[in-house]
Amino acid sequence: MSRLQIAINGWFVGQPAAGSGQYIHYLLSYLPRLPAAPRLTLLLPPGVVAPDYPGVEVVQVGVPPGPAALRKLWWEQAGVPVAARACAADVLWVPYWAAPWWQPLPVCVTVHDLIPRLLPAYRGGVFQRAYTALVSASARRAAAVIAVSHAAKRDIVAHLDIAPARVHVVHHGPNTFGAPATDAAARAAVAQRYGLPARYFLYLGGFDVRKNVESVLRAYARYLAQGGDSTVRLVLAGQLPTRERAFMPDPRRQAARLGLGDAVHYCGFVADEDKPALYAGAVAFLFPSRYEGFGMPVLEAMAAGTPVITAR
């Protein structure tokens, strides 16, 4: 009996800064190791060079010239289903919310969250709203939908009107193979690399309004004002905004308005291999995000043994 063949939309391969990029990278690194693993055919747009995933076949799929948003739309709606059918795949898996409307073979789509539908600040302009309507409708046509949490499944069932039996919860694991490196030597090396204070509260993530970083800063200012230990600094980790916007407030400006000055340390983008030690060195991890499909940083901090303060 021949093995199941799964064609995979690889648009986010090689994009580690994107959650969907991390999701597909770690799954492609792990799935071929499973007993009786399916055949995996990774469909890639031109110019993308995939890491070496043993056991994964790579097929390049051309994209016509044009604006970036239209190229991506063409890739998802035409290039991917045509290529999946051409390679005689049994299933097409789309690991982010972009199932094609035309489905010449069974489609499984991972819907991480419904942020563009549920949060007004993320709905975008006319094109983005039309795109959200399209992928909402195409998800309803899929043979199966993967949700990364029960909370995400509830939203998918309620707002996309998909039968609960067709939505399957497959939780994330932490983005590591085996135990995180949190020994004293690893923590010291990471502390030196990022110039970390001796003791710190930690926030790690994005700085868009949904992440609620302003509440982290206000809470820390209140902690200091009420006599908290001032030797415990606040570390904000992640790629800082290039300019101040309502959608992406600059935490440096917010900290200045609160009079926090040098009490806040910004360490910028953190490599995946450094995250376990960064978490492990923290007094506590602060993550009061207003909405997450899953909330990977919470799991990563807990895996490193760090106390977590988060939102429901």
What is the 8-class DSSP label of residue 178? S
Going by pLDDT thresholds of 50, 70 and 90, the confidence category of residue 157 is very high
Co-location of 149 and 196 in the same domain: no
Question: How does strand 199-204 pair with strand 284-287?
Answer: parallel
CB 256 within 8 A of CB 281: no
pLDDT at residue 231, rounded to an integer:
95
Numbers of helices and strands, H then E, in the chain: 11, 12
Question: How does strand 308-310 pair with strand 5-9?
Answer: unpaired
Q: Is residue 175 part of a domain?
A: no
Co-location of 101 and 155 in the same domain: yes
Alpha carbon separation from 6 to 1, 85, 139, 270 (Å, rounded)? 16, 11, 18, 33
Co-location of 115 and 190 in the same domain: no
pLDDT at residue 173, rounded to an integer:
78
Q: Is residue 253 part of a domain?
A: yes
CA-CA distance, 82 to 132, in Å (whole number)? 22
* Residues in a beta bridge with 93: 8, 108
**Averaged pLDDT for residues 60-82:** 94
Co-location of 165 and 20 in the same domain: yes
Cα-Cα-Cα-Cα torsion 109, 112, 118, 120, nearest 10 degrees, comes to: -110
Co-location of 9 and 155 in the same domain: yes
| Last-in-domain residue among 111, 146, 169 | 169
Q: Is residue 178 part of a domain?
A: no
| Largest distance between two CA atoms of the chain | 69
For residue 180, pLDDT over 80 is answered with: no
pLDDT at residue 144, rounded to an integer:
98
CA-CA distance, 302 to 294, in Å (whole number)? 14
For residue 197, pLDDT over 80 is answered with: yes
| Last-in-domain residue among 107, 142, 169 | 169
Cβ–Cβ contacts within 10 Å for residue 255, how many? 23
CB 294 within 8 A of CB 152: yes
Closest by CA position to 301, among listed 268, 276, 272, 274 = 276
Q: Looking at the 3D structure of the chain, how many domains does it have?
A: 2
| Model pLDDT for residues 210-230, shown as the tens digit of each residue | 999 999 999 999 999 999 999
CA-CA distance, 164 to 148, in Å (whole number)? 14
Q: Is residue 179 part of a domain?
A: no
pLDDT at residue 246, rounded to an integer:
87
Can you tell me which residue has the tokens 């309803």?
Answer: 140
| Last-in-domain residue among 124, 141, 169 | 169
Co-location of 144 and 29 in the same domain: yes
For residue 177, pLDDT over 80 is answered with: no
Q: Which residues contact 214 (CB under 8 A, 6 or more apart)?
A: 249, 251, 254
Co-location of 188 and 158 in the same domain: no
Co-location of 251 and 291 in the same domain: yes
Co-location of 161 and 192 in the same domain: no
pLDDT at residue 181, rounded to an integer:
61
- CATH label of the domain that carries residue 33: 3.40.50.2000
Tally of CA atoms within 13 A in the half-sphere of 4 that contains its CB: 11
Structural domain containing residue 145:
5-169
